[in-house]
Amino acid sequence: MRVGRAPGEIEAIHLTDAGTAGPPVGADWRRRYAIRLWLSDLIVLVAVAFGTQIAWFGLGNAQVSIREDSRLSVVSYWFFSALLVVAWMWSLSLIDSRSDRAIGTGSTEYIRIISVSIRLFGIIAILAFLLRVDVARGYLLIAFPLGMLLLLVERWLWRQWLVVKRARGAFSARVVLVGSENSVAQIGEALRRTPSAGYLVVGACVPLGIPGEYVRGTDIPIVGSVLSVSAALASVQADTVAISSTDELPPSVVKRISWQLEAGRQHLVLAPGIIDVVGPRIQTRPVAGLPLIHVETPRYSKGQRLAKRGLDLLLATVGVILLSPVMGVIALVIGSTTHGPILFRQTRVGLDGREFRLLKFRTMVANAEDLLAELEPHRNAGNEVLFKMTEDPRVTGIGRFLRRYSLDELPQLFNVLGGSMSLVGPRPSLPREVERYADHVHRRFMVKPGITGLWQISGRSTLSWEESVRLDLSYVENWTLVGDIVIMFKTARAALAPGNTSA
């Protein structure tokens, strides 16, 4: 076995052309899905434009008034509505709203639709002003918001369909991971946890890779070495190469891999060694041909904190008003069926490590805390820091129902109004848990704890301690207001289709 190579020899290695094996399995799923989006977008926009026209003007031949040129005054709204549909469809195509890089995960797809719709509305308003075209304001003020809303709903429905398909391995990029075994295992596990992202790992190329074996500690098959990537792609009919680390890959080899990928059908993805850093914190700045990635340290401006607090106050106030009858009924049932206080008050650790009193409807017997030490040896859920039991004997009958639908957490709306909690944030920690925290875990106290958060929509009691910490720190370091809204929507959906018990 050769343990070294002469300088320059690695650049001379010929990488087998994968094109001879034919197109990758399912390589045209992107085109097929884009066509479906195009057709459904068209149906929505035709319905909105012509539906609004008929609702506003009736079935007659209403005309657009063009004051500067009487020869064009015969232009009807039927033609204008058709032109609006064409312009809107063209705009959606220009911003790649149907690209596989935008669909399926994250908010990029929705943001692009909102952005292009607002811009198109602005362009039409400016042109109408400059050309002195009198377009009915009511028609535009109904068509654009309604069209944008229905486009978002249509795309959301398609996304739910896509998530189901991707959970079965369809409509996903077939990925070969390239790098060290540790990095391959790490990236592979991250992609496995989120099949909705659309990356199906079908193999790996690692240093001295021997086909037929598996990456250590995983079920990812090794399909070649880092020097036979193109041949490996052909062997498993993959369409995407994901570089998980460059420790074993000189830049010349990465370039050579990218050059041999079939344009438009095969793709190259570079996965940086940093994880759980997303959004505006990452900026790519090319310097002398080097794509330098700048990662900003997490910080919260006064405007961000004010926006988050404003959203908390608004939604918590509305929630208290609307849910007061429900909370009243729950209080009556707890008081009449169990002995002890209606509310359970517990000391938790919040913003900047300050303690506060968390409120919940009592779901356990009155002396539940005194029984904790006795039950510790029988724990069969949770993790090494968080105590959980699948069938906790301390939980009352009404308590099981409240936990199943997360109704026990409704009094925490008053914690939000009081300022000790937020609607969305890290899990509120117990003082005894904080005593066992490693130093880096204390970063979760940079924001207020939340009634819900990434930890609640990602598995709750089924998560390991490391995974719980990772989710909390990921939230703290990548917070956005849009992200909070997404988490709240997912929480509402999870409450309607309950699974695990609450924390």
Same domain, yes or no: 327 and 466: yes
Domain enclosing residue 429, as ranges: 302-496
**Mean pLDDT computed over 364-380:** 69
Predicted local distance difference test score (pLDDT) of residue 458 = 74
CA distances from 41 to 105, 139, 152, 243, 331 (A): 19, 20, 10, 35, 48
From the centroid of its chain, how far is CA 295? 20
Same domain, yes or no: 268 and 400: no
Environment class of 349 (CB within 10 Å of its CB; exposed 0-12, middle 13-18, buried 19+): buried
In a domain, 9, yes or no: no
Same domain, yes or no: 390 and 453: yes
**Mean pLDDT computed over 461-471:** 73
Structural contact between residues 228 and 248, judged by C-beta atoms closer than 8 angstroms: no
Number of folded domains in the chain? 3
Same domain, yes or no: 335 and 474: yes
Same domain, yes or no: 440 and 386: yes
Same domain, yes or no: 145 and 182: no
74-79: Cβ within 8 A, 24+ apart: 77/53, 77/136, 77/139, 78/50, 78/53
In a domain, 470, yes or no: yes
Domain boundary among 125, 145, 167: 167
Report helix, strand or coil for 443: helix
Same domain, yes or no: 132 and 186: no
Residue 40: how many other CB atoms lie within 10 Å: 15
pLDDT in tens, 387-408: 566 677 788 889 989 988 889 9
In a domain, 21, yes or no: no
Environment class of 21 (CB within 10 Å of its CB; exposed 0-12, middle 13-18, buried 19+): middle
What is the phi/psi pair of residue 332, to 5°? -65, -40
Highest mean pLDDT, choosing among 176-180, 345-349, 439-443: 345-349
pLDDT in tens, 316-366: 999 999 999 999 999 999 999 988 899 999 999 999 899 999 999 999 888
* DSSP structure class, residue 429: B
Q: Which residues contact 359 (CB under 8 A, 6 or more apart)?
A: 343, 344, 345, 411, 412, 414, 415
Q: Give strand pairing partners of 359.
A: 345
Alpha helices (H) in 211-301, listed in sequence order: 229-236, 251-259
pLDDT at 51 over 80: yes
CA distance 336 to 445: 38
* DSSP structure class, residue 95: T
In a domain, 363, yes or no: yes
Same domain, yes or no: 186 and 42: no
CA distance 502 to 127: 55
Predicted local distance difference test score (pLDDT) of residue 296 = 60
Structural contact between residues 488 and 425, judged by C-beta atoms closer than 8 angstroms: no
CA distance 275 to 267: 21
Domain boundary among 145, 167, 189: 167
In a domain, 17, yes or no: no
Report helix, strand or coil for 58: coil
Same domain, yes or no: 490 and 411: yes
Predicted local distance difference test score (pLDDT) of residue 162 = 92
Look up the CATH number of the domain holding residue 231: 3.40.50.1980
Structural contact between residues 37 and 98, judged by C-beta atoms closer than 8 angstroms: yes
The single residue listed with the structure tokens 């809107």 is: 88
In a domain, 16, yes or no: no
**Mean pLDDT computed over 443-449:** 89
Domain boundary among 106, 135, 167: 167
Question: Average per-residue pLDDT in the chain?
Answer: 80
Same domain, yes or no: 429 and 308: yes
Same domain, yes or no: 319 and 438: yes
Q: Which residues contact 455 (CB under 8 A, 6 or more apart)?
A: 426, 427, 463, 468, 471, 472, 503
In a domain, 35, yes or no: yes
CA distances from 67 to 131, 162, 327, 446 (A): 9, 49, 61, 60
Report helix, strand or coil for 100: coil
In a domain, 279, yes or no: no
Which of 116-125, 205-214, 235-244, 261-270 is least confident?
261-270
CA distance 455 to 453: 5
Residue 184: how many other CB atoms lie within 10 Å: 28
Predicted local distance difference test score (pLDDT) of residue 71 = 45
Q: Taking the CA atoms of the chain, what radius of gyration do you get in angstroms?
A: 28
Structural contact between residues 298 and 281, judged by C-beta atoms closer than 8 angstroms: yes
Same domain, yes or no: 147 and 265: no
pLDDT at 132 over 90: no
- Residue count (the chain): 503
Q: Which residues contact 78 (CB under 8 A, 6 or more apart)?
A: 50, 53, 61
The type of residue at 271 is A
Predicted local distance difference test score (pLDDT) of residue 466 = 75
- For the question of whether the overall pTM of this predicted structure is more than 0.85, the answer is no
Q: Which residues contact 279 (CB under 8 A, 6 or more apart)?
A: 478, 480
Q: How confident is the model at residue 2 (pLDDT cuts 50, 70, 90)?
A: very low
